């Protein structure tokens, strides 16, 4: 072989070797998205209360500014088809923390307010998402709204959370100088039942006097928890459940001043409440960075259900609002943020469910879920990081019992069947028709029948409610055919 040929052979070999190394490098980079770090991640789970689909900048808001949330969303992945398992507060939270549809564990309704739920709570037979993490060595915290049981057996400290700061009921006023006075007056008047919204906050079972605007207090406590986790040298799981922008609509003057351009009073106050959340999240991120935990923290942000359009929210382009099985009732804004571990700047358009958090987050934590634990969701991590549909050919359900009848919906891939307000079943290609404007039930009767049949079969897995809210619904449930779903699953109108 001539010298010239030898040189050419070596050059080609080197190019081939480098090309293979480059392919190997690229493969490794992609694999990093699919494999959790050996070091268990911190998990910061931020849940808003009644936040509208279009009430954050990253999801299309033009009048409410949320710069801190937008930055996290921009640097992470936005989920455009994220669903919760129920269209209002308590049942949605029960699903999130148990991994079960609330209808299958007797929590179809909110726990009754103002002392009426004493002795009741999400069954202790259902292990909360925090327990496997706690057993895996995580420092676990719950801050903010609970709404899952007020007595000792159902207290956050007995459901897998090392630290709890907040209130146990379904809502609360925001300004301490106001709710303290109202609480004092009710106590002095000898009231046997004190309104939940004015009760003192507590820290691990001990009541205390809070002096800050409620949203700011919860943000402050989140930063405190994060510092404690660092000092304990443990990974953390923090469930930060803001009660904003849930009513009562109450905002700080300095936040209101930023939204003088909004003429409607409710919308302006609501916007200021959302801004307070954003401001708080910004401070929490600063503390994560200051303690060196930001790079290994998965931040999840979403709402517990759709926004209440009667109280300042905007769900555009969705139809419906909180409580509905239209998209506006249970399709929520959501993002994941985890530097260098998830796709940056991606929009994930496939449907996911809040039921998926239990198996997915415990997988990332390296925690062991008991073999006998029933889960209605699935681990979506590999599908998410590969941009694949995690629920291909699987159906996601939503159901809300009203006074004497039931609203229900089912989505599988592109198709959604929905029945609301005792109207006939409708069918939508929800991928192309997110606003649910064009009913295709007559054009695609077989698809509608299939989805309705699946939904009826799912309903047979439900249990009797363990409580009712409002309380009079119990009598209605027993006296009518609500318990057997009336003719909810009848398609024909003759």
> Which residues participate in catalysis according to the annotation?
89, 147
* HSE-CB for 416 with a 13 A CA cutoff: 28
* HSE-CB for 165 with a 13 A CA cutoff: 21
Contacts of 116 (CB under 8 A, 6+ apart): 469, 471
In angstroms, the Cα distances linking 248 to 171, 198, 270, 340 are 9, 12, 10, 39
Cα-based torsion angle of the residue sequence 229, 286, 352, 41 in order, rounded to the nearest 10 degrees: -40
Q: At 227, list the tokens.
A: 């510092």
Task: Give the DSSP letter of residue 226.
Answer: H
Picking from 279, 225, 217, 268, the residue whose alpha carbon sits closest to that of residue 243 is 217
Q: How far apart are CA 219 and CA 224, in angstroms?
A: 9
Q: How far apart are CA 417 and CA 405, in angstroms?
A: 17
The three-state secondary structure class of 78 is strand
Q: What are phi and psi of 195, to 5 degrees?
A: -60, 130
């Amino acid at each position: 072989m001539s010298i010239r040929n030898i040189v050419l052979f070596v050059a080609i070999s080197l190019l081939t070797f480098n090309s293979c190394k480059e392919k190997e490098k690229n493969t490794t980079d992609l694999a990093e998205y699919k494999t959790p770090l050996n070091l268990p991640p911190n998990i910061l789970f931020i849940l808003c209360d009644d936040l509208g689909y279009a009430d954050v900048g990253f999801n299309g808001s033009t009048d409410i500014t949320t710069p801190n949330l937008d930055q996290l969303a921009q640097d992470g992945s936005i989920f455009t088809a994220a669903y919760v398992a129920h269209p209002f507060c308590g049942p949605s939270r029960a699903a999130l923390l148990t991994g079960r549809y609330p209808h299958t564990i007797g929590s179809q309704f909110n726990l009754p307010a103002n002392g009426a739920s004493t002795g009741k709570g999400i069954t202790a037979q259902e292990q909360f998402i925090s327990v496997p993490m706690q057993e895996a060595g995580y420092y676990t915290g719950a801050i903010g709204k609970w709404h899952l049981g007020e007595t000792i057996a159902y207290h956050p400290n007995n459901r897998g959370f090392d630290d709890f700061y907040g209130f146990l009921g379904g809502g609360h006023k925001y300004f301490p100088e106001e709710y303290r006075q109202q609480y004092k007056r009710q106590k002095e008047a000898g009231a046997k039942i004190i309104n939940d919204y004015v009760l003192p906050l507590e820290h691990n079972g001990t009541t205390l006097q809070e002096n800050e605007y409620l949203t700011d207090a919860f943000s402050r406590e989140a930063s405190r928890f994060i510092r404690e986790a660092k000092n304990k040298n443990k990974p953390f799981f923090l469930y930060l459940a803001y009660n904003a922008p849930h009513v009562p609509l109450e905002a700080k003057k300095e936040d209101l001043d930023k939204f003088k351009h909004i003429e409607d009073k409710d919308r302006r106050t609501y916007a200021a409440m959302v801004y307070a959340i954003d401001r708080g999240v910004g401070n929490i991120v600063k503390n994560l960075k200051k303690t060196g935990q930001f790079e290994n923290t998965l931040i999840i942000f979403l709402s517990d259900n759709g926004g209440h359009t009667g109280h300042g929210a905007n769900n555009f382009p969705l139809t419906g609002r909180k409580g509905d099985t239209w998209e506006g009732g249970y399709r929520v804004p959501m993002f994941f943020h985890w530097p260098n571990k998830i796709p940056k700047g991606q929009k994930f358009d496939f449907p996911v469910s809040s039921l998926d958090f239990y198996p997915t987050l415990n997988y990332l934590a390296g925690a062991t879920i008991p073999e006998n634990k029933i889960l209605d969701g699935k681990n979506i991590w590999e599908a998410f990081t590969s941009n694949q549909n995690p629920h291909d050919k699987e159906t996601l359900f939503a159901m809300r019992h009203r006074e004497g009848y039931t609203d229900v919906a089912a989505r599988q891939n592109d198709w959604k069947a929905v029945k609301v307000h005792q109207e006939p079943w409708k069918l939508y290609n929800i991928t192309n028709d997110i606003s649910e404007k064009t009913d295709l039930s007559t054009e695609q009767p077989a698809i509608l029948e299939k989805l309705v049949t699946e939904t009826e079969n799912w309903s047979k897995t439900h249990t009797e409610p363990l409580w009712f809210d409002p309380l009079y619904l119990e009598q209605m449930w027993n006296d009518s055919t609500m318990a057997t779903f009336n003719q909810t699953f009848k398609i024909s109108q003759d």
